Amino acid sequence: CLRGISSVLKTVPRRSIDIVARYGGEEFACLLPETDFKGAMLVAEAIRRDVIDLNIAHGSSPTAPHVTVSIGVQTVEDVPEDLSADSLLHRTDRLLYAAKNGGRNRVVGSGDWD
Extended beta strands in 1-114, E state? 19-22, 28-31, 71-74, 107-110
Active-site annotation holder among 26, 34, 45, 77: 26
Closest to 10 (Cα-Cα) out of 32, 34, 30, 25: 30
**27 among known catalytic residues:** no
**Residue 14: CA count within 13 A, CB half-sphere:** 6
Q: Residue 30's CB: how many other CB atoms inside 10 A?
A: 19
Q: Please list the active-site residues.
A: 26
